[in-house]
Structure 1
Amino acid sequence: MSRTLHLTEQLISRPSVTPDDAGCQALLRERLEALGFACETLVSGPENFRVTNLWAKRPGATPDAPTLVFAGHTDVVPTGPLEQWKSDPFTPTHRDGRLYGRGASDMKTSIAAFVVATEEFLAAQPQPNLALALLITSDEEGPSVDGTVVVCRTLKERGEKLDFCIVGEPTSVQRTGDMIKNGRRGTMSGKLIVKGVQGHIAYPQLARNPIHQAMPALAELAAIEWDRGNAYFPPTSWQVSNIHGGTGATNVIPGQVVIDFNFRFSSESTAEALQQRLISVLERHELEYELQWTLGGHPFLTTPGSLVTAIQGAIRDEVGIETELSTTGGTSDGRFIAQICPQVIEFGPPNATIHKIDEHIAVADIEPVKNIYRRTLENLNASLIHGAAA
């Protein structure tokens, strides 16, 4: 059994459903401290939702050495109905060349690969030009308000400088290395309450139907071209997720209708501009309304540069393919790290089974993921050496 597989199994066996870390970070801390990392645990959140965050850093050969951060999460989503699993989700199980268990793909394999890749890299390069760090949270699959965002805020307050970050999200699609994320769209949700006047449905002249009033505005919003995207991002999308109106009775005009919606937006738009455009539509339709906004994250983008080049070369050398750069999919903790780090990418194993019953990873994918992380460190370190020599 490889060391990466063994550590992956150790992590899977810990039932770390958000926000419970279940001892995963203590296991990582022991391995990292043996490598010379200074490890710090930052606990955040209310008593009934305590989040554990690990910040571990090892200095480079010089005080001004650039820092590469491996970032990830030890928490996993709930298992779902246990009777639907073919084996216990927190007992690592092998079947037909696959490792089964909650977190196998998202993202305990990546975390194990971070650690073993770092161990191998430092064994060959005890004094690298890179400073190395790990940022691990137990609140990524949950609200994400006491996890990575708290660590990033703390680092910013301390003046900590980060240069490169690899988030271990499972980004591969058909095979390991076929896709990395070099950015993510922004996300912003809204709750719109359109107010009317409740009344008997047989006397509409004595009432005001907020559903009827809202529909023309919603149709206009659905038809708007918010932007056209760019070379890295698809166009901004506005989608309604929920509509609720009425008392349940068929003879009552409701007094209000509640509409939940979400923007997934490109770097061509700002949250503020999208809000103003939407409000202008509501005002033009003369709606009486309340509106609440929740900004989940701004878009971020890492254009091709030293980090992208380093991981592209690592993937090419390890698995022999040219990786695709993509900004598709949902959000990740990369949105928080990008606020304090100029180059953030995401790379990990195939994502076909994440959050599913019988989540698993092909055992044959585990070592290549680790090797790609290690090769990326080697490539970045080499580029820094050559840059210094130049």
Structure 2
Amino acid sequence: MKEQAKIEILQKLIRIKTVNNNEAEAADYLASLFEPYSNAKVERLTYAPNRDNLIVTIGETGPILGFSGHLDVVAPGDLNAWDSDPFEPVIKQQRLYGRGAADMKSGLAALVVAMLELLESKQPLSGRIRLLATVGEETGEYGAAQLTKAGYADNLIGLIVAEPTSDLSQLVYTARGVIDYRITSIGKAAHSARPQFGVNAIDNLMLFYQQVKARFADFTAVDPVLGGITHNITKISGGEQVNSIPSYAELWGNIRTIPAYPNQVFYDKIAELLAELNQQSDVKLAVEYSFPEEAIPGDPQSPIIKAAQLTAQEVLGRTFKIAGSSGANDGAEFLQAKGTFNSIEIGPGSDSSHQSNEYVELPIYLQAIEFYQKFALEFLKFQTN
């Protein structure tokens, strides 16, 4: 495939507005690229109307290597902060600008082009490659969770997540988990001049706020790559008007976990605190969790990392810096599938993710395509020998 055709695939993908919706249109476009190849198995799994996950498998038999990328992007934000339309990709000085150029339509497009070129070359594979293109990664990895539950990630021999890693300079093998939670407080409205007739939901919510961080101080382990846990209260709201005792209040908290602590220990701490506080008169607190993800432990000596380093030396003339990630990705869900395998995160894209004027360096995008192809060939061959 010519370089311009590879770039046009990325451009067309960016033009499809998939801001936490409309992923089906992007899935349709990518699926159409595989239509000429009878030996490519294309499947869809619908999450909601207009929101389709895409699964493409190439190769006849044997072990399966997973390729992971998400179809959705974050909102562009203030359009005045962009130098051009975020959904009309622009190329300037070897950089392609547009929403998703870094996170992560360049990675997804590179995976797709790598598979297409393998099909074009008719080079036999020593196994299979399965693309797992998901919905909703930016808001909770629920597309990956759906694919995992349906069995599409069962018994993989390895997984590449094509999230941006500083222009292919790093290879991420471990990542923090994330727990987003909401605490609700139910009170009773009354006139602020007669507070004795009401129950102040904000006051009761503050009881939790004042104590939760002290409870989490017990988690003192420090990961050599990821560091310690982090916990922040990031949103608080409540009340109806200034002269009324608030009948409702809520807060949102965000915990970034490390492999030393499974998510359940945090659930237990919160449940313990709520049970104690709810014993007090008129306190009514409850918790809800939003798409929590476990931390990814990884293994820096795993075969998939060794194979990636050998391929990087061949394609890039250097090896990757081994690193961890402070953010969660779809790999956390896929690793819950049947079987035991390791995942790595490696992809094109700059540090401009989620920012205005997001971009990818086109030479890096093209290198990523070559890397994915050669890695897949060598890793599958190694696994069958």
TM exceeds 0.5?
A: yes
- Equivalent residue, structure 1, for 2:33: 31
* CA drift at 1:83: 4.5
- Residue correspondences, number: 373
- Equivalent residue, structure 2, for 1:76: 73
Structure-1 separation of matches of 2:130 and 2:372: 13
Q: Can you give the 5+ residue segments of structure 2 that lack an aligned partner in the other structure?
A: none
Deviations along 1:217-247, one digit per CA (max 9) or x if unpaired, are: 4333223324214334432222212223444
* CA drift at 1:133: 1.1
- 1:303 maps to 2:299: yes
Identify if the C-alpha distance between structure 1 residues 119 and 253 changes in structure 2 by more than 3 Å, giving closer, same or farther: closer
The answer (yes or no) to whether the contact 1:121–1:377 under 8 Å persists in 2 is no
The answer (yes or no) to whether the contact 2:27–2:54 under 8 Å persists in 1 is yes
Structure-1 separation of matches of 2:77 and 2:108: 23
Give the 3-state SS of the residue equivalent to 2:235 in structure 1. strand
- 1:167 maps to 2:167: no
- Equivalent residue, structure 1, for 2:134: 137
State the AA in 1 paired with 2:11. Answer: E
1:369-388 matched pairs, under 5 angstroms? 369-385=368-384, 388=385
- 1:339 maps to 2:336: yes
- Equivalent residue, structure 2, for 1:222: 213
Identify if the C-alpha distance between structure 1 residues 383 and 124 changes in structure 2 by more than 3 Å, giving closer, same or farther: farther
Structure-2 separation of matches of 1:72 and 1:182: 16
- 1:50 maps to 2:50: yes
State the AA in 2 paired with 1:32. Answer: F
1:1-390 matched pairs, under 5 angstroms? 2=3, 3-21=5-23, 23-35=25-37, 36-45=39-48, 49-60=49-60, 63=61, 65-121=62-118, 126-142=123-139, 144-145=141-142, 147-155=143-151, 160-172=154-166, 176-195=167-186, 209=200, 211-212=202-203, 214-215=205-206, 217-223=208-214, 224-227=216-219, 228-249=221-242, 252-284=244-276, 286-287=279-280, 288-294=283-289, 295-304=291-300, 305-340=302-337, 342-385=341-384, 388=385
Identify if the C-alpha distance between structure 1 residues 258 and 131 changes in structure 2 by more than 3 Å, giving closer, same or farther: same
Deviations along 1:9-36, one digit per CA (max 9) or x if unpaired, are: 2322333333213643334324334452
* CA drift at 1:93: 1.5
Identify if the C-alpha distance between structure 1 residues 326 and 291 changes in structure 2 by more than 3 Å, giving closer, same or farther: farther
Deviations along 1:310-335, one digit per CA (max 9) or x if unpaired, are: 22222333334442333323222222
Structure-2 separation of matches of 1:30 and 1:205: 66
Deviations along 1:356-384, one digit per CA (max 9) or x if unpaired, are: 22221122221121122123213313423
Structure-1 separation of matches of 2:181 and 2:238: 16
Identify if the C-alpha distance between structure 1 residues 225 and 328 changes in structure 2 by more than 3 Å, giving closer, same or farther: farther
* CA drift at 1:201: 5.6
State the AA in 2 paired with 1:301. Answer: P
Structure-2 separation of matches of 1:243 and 1:81: 24
Deviations along 1:292-311, one digit per CA (max 9) or x if unpaired, are: 22142222232131112122
State the AA in 2 paired with 1:296. Answer: P
Q: Can you give the 5+ residue segments of structure 1 that lack an aligned partner in the other structure?
A: none
Deviations along 1:157-198, one digit per CA (max 9) or x if unpaired, are: xx95322111111122xxx22223223322223222345566
Identify if the C-alpha distance between structure 1 residues 365 and 191 changes in structure 2 by more than 3 Å, giving closer, same or farther: same
Identify if the C-alpha distance between structure 1 residues 190 and 116 changes in structure 2 by more than 3 Å, giving closer, same or farther: closer
State the AA in 2 paired with 1:362. Answer: E
* CA drift at 1:77: 2.6
Q: Name the TM-score, length of structure 1 as normaliser.
A: 0.83
* CA drift at 1:42: 2.2
Give the CA RMSD over aligned residues: 3.0
Structure-2 separation of matches of 1:13 and 1:254: 46
State the AA in 2 paired with 1:356. Answer: Q
Give the 3-state SS of the residue equivalent to 1:260 in structure 2. strand
Give the 3-state SS of the residue equivalent to 1:327 in structure 2. strand
Q: Which stretch of the first structure deviates more once superposed, 330-339 or 285-294?
A: 285-294
Q: Which stretch of the first structure deviates more once superposed, 108-117 or 252-261?
A: 252-261
The answer (yes or no) to whether the contact 1:41–1:52 under 8 Å persists in 2 is yes
Structure-1 separation of matches of 2:101 and 2:141: 21
Identify if the C-alpha distance between structure 1 residues 293 and 325 changes in structure 2 by more than 3 Å, giving closer, same or farther: farther
Identify if the C-alpha distance between structure 1 residues 327 and 206 changes in structure 2 by more than 3 Å, giving closer, same or farther: same
Structure-2 separation of matches of 1:88 and 1:246: 39
The answer (yes or no) to whether the contact 1:198–1:254 under 8 Å persists in 2 is yes
Structure-2 separation of matches of 1:202 and 1:89: 52
